[in-house]
Structure 1
Amino acid sequence: MKKIVFLLLCTCATAFAQTPTPEQMAQKQLEAYNQKDIKAFMDCFSEDVKIYTYPNTLEVEGKAKMQEQYAQFFNSAQTLHCTVIKRIVRGAFVIDEESVQYNATTFGGVAIYEVKEGKIVAVTFMK
């Protein structure tokens, strides 16, 4: 009887611990970005994340390097807020048209997030 209860509890716990969808991960990192919460933001990315400028210029490789750059960016921002104008979700990809307010400047762009196993593995920015 104890084995049955244990197996049932394990099955229920596994059912509730589902991998987040690509859209959920894109939203989670957006919310952490807007809060300038570097820990919550970086938790969304894989260890070997790659950041590109469109079409394929590698700007940053690896979570440690990315965290170093974003920590400086967050610290230098008195005002930082990203608004998604339009979002497209297609399989493992989330494409956001964004408007970003950084201090007194507002700029737009497109971010393409690739998500695998519940982590963002690549981001490509289009200006």
Structure 2
Amino acid sequence: MQADLVITHIDPLAEINFVDGIEYTISSGNLIKTDTLLSDSPEMLAQKQLNAYNARDIEAFLEPYAEDVKVYEFPNKLTMEGKEAMRKAYSGMFEKVTNLHCELVNRIVQGNTVIDQESVTGFGEDKFEAIAVYKVKDGKIAEVYFLR
């Protein structure tokens, strides 16, 4: 007899979000690697990096980005290029700014572009408003434009 089954590296009884840890699915006798079923939507990529930013988790923060990501000050001033440049800039910030937090105020998704209106705290006394535009290519965030 054939059965449907999932294989996970997370204990589903201990972790409510165990579905994030599903690595393989067996359906109708076929072994399927889970990451080949559905890729993350542009909105999900933007949300993953925002969640990791607020958790100050540098590895999770960088995961949605392309290796050759380009970061711009709007409209076209290149400020950073590549994941390693982001790692240096953000890991230092995550360590130094202990009360860092970005609140999503509004989000617009149009095809492979996500536009987030954000309220950021942790840099001095006042919060500031910012706009981040994420452009997704080949399942990763390839370009980011910041407007403050």
Which residue of the partner structure matches residue 24 of structure 1?
44
Structure 1: gaps of 5 or more residues: none
**TM-score for both structures, normalised by structure 2:** 0.76
Structure-to-structure mapping, 1:54-93, within 5 angstroms: 54-93=74-113
Report the structure, 1 or 2, having the larger helix content: 1
> How many pairs were matched up?
122
Structure-to-structure mapping, 1:33-52, within 5 angstroms: 33-52=53-72
Percent identity, please.
43
Cα distance between partner residues in 2 of 1:66 and 1:14: 28
Could you say what the CA RMSD is over the residues aligned between the two structures, in angstroms?
A: 2.1
Higher relative contact order (CA 8 A, sep 6+): 1
From the superposition, tell whether residues 6 and 106 of structure 1 become closer, same or farther in structure 2 (CA, over 3 Å). Answer: closer
What SS does the aligned partner of 2:127 have? strand
Which residue of the partner structure matches residue 132 of structure 2?
111
Structure 2: gaps of 5 or more residues: 1-25
Cα distance between partner residues in 2 of 1:57 and 1:49: 14
